[in-house]
Amino acid sequence: PEPILEVRDLTVHFYTYAGIVKAIERVSFDVYRGETFALVGETGCGKSVTSRALTQLIESPGRIVEGQVLYHREDGSTVDLLKLSEEEIRDVRGKEIAYIFQDPHASLDPLYTVGYQIAEAMVVHNTVKDWKEGFRKAVDILRRVLIPDPESRVKNYPHELSGGMKQRVVIGTGVSNNPKILIADEPTTALDVTVQAQILDLMNKLKEEYNTTVILITHNMGVVAEMADRVAVMYAGKIVEIGSVDQIFKNPLHPYTQGLLRAVPNPMAKIERLETIPGTVPNLIEPPSGCRFHPRCPRVMGICKEKVPELKEMEPGHFVACHLY
């Protein structure tokens, strides 16, 4: 497999009055072209921060303090996305790398029609020659995301659509420029269960059609099982395990991953929460020493409080950061 992204030592800190929040520390992973790569973990583990940092989408008081995000284009060229200027990265974002966020209500502007908003996504990146072409393409896009009667829906305002339809519009906006990478942050969490399944199906269909690489951010192991090829498990701002879906579900190595999977008796049920692991997510101003999971780990040893475990490859493609190995 050929990487489209190589993320190395990505570190983001938030400079708050209470202290420096070490939101993510030296996060490294590869994403392969054409795959669905899931970043999974509890709320606050740093998965959203990681996904946003990939295109410098970190707002003050946050700052990317270290790292590289090497993006390999199809023409063979490579850029470090963290080195691009504000203007250059803004052009990459939305065009080559697009985001879908959790809440479709917040992603759409109530003052403009959905057609206008989809057309605008193309106009600002010059992927259409004018607004007229943008509006015409918006109708096609609504059809592609399976919105019935797209010719009239294109003139609707967001409040005239259901939550599921709004998220389809958001996805349509996301894929309007045929991005190479689509980053979807909890794309179905705000929706009811039946609509969630439809949206996941739609994302899979679009990915097949366009061969888009997908980075899926989720707290839901059922969604991972259904959608992903590979998974990175995050805990307290660090990646603790990476592997294929098979490796992670059949042979989870990290005690945290094992806990996550125990918390989900049926990973396909899609309704579980991850809060069943005892203890609370640590404060990232003063994270636990050594392994950040040690205060909650059922298998903690002396060394765990002293030394930060590094990711080690245990079988081809299966990495774990834990002193048990």
**Footprint of Mg ion on this chain (CB under 5 A)?**
48
CB of 55 to Mg ion, least distance (A): 16
Question: What is the residue type of 221?
Answer: M
Per CB under 6 A, contacts with ligand SF4 among 260-319 are 291, 293-294, 297, 299-301, 304, 309
Residue 48's binding partner among ligand SF4, Mg ion, none (Cβ under 5 to 8 angstroms by kind) is Mg ion
Among all residues, whose Cβ is closest to Mg ion?
48
Cβ nearer to Mg ion, comparing 48 with 196 = 48
CB of 230 to ligand SF4, least distance (A): 21
Q: How many residues bind ligand SF4 (CB under 6 A)?
A: 14
Per CB under 6 A, contacts with ligand SF4 among 197-256 are 254-255
Supply φ then ψ for residue 30, to 5 degrees.
-110, 150
Do strands 3-16 and 62-72 pair parallel, antiparallel, or not at all (unpaired)?
antiparallel
CB of 51 to Mg ion, least distance (A): 8
Two tokens, residue 322: 């834990």
Cβ nearer to Mg ion, comparing 39 with 291 = 39
Residue 36's binding partner among Mg ion, ligand SF4, none (Cβ under 5 to 8 angstroms by kind) is none
Q: Return the closest-CA partner of residue 216 out of 41, 91, 92.
A: 41
Beta strands in 61-152 (DSSP E): 62-72, 78-80, 97-100
Residues paired with 71 in a beta bridge: 5, 79
Which helix (H) or strand (E) segment is 166 a member of? helix 163-175
d(CA 324, CA 254): 9
CB of 319 to ligand SF4, least distance (A): 13
d(CA 25, CA 10): 6
Residues lying near ligand SF4 in the complex (CB under 6 A) are found at: 254-255, 291, 293-294, 297, 299-301, 304, 309, 322-324
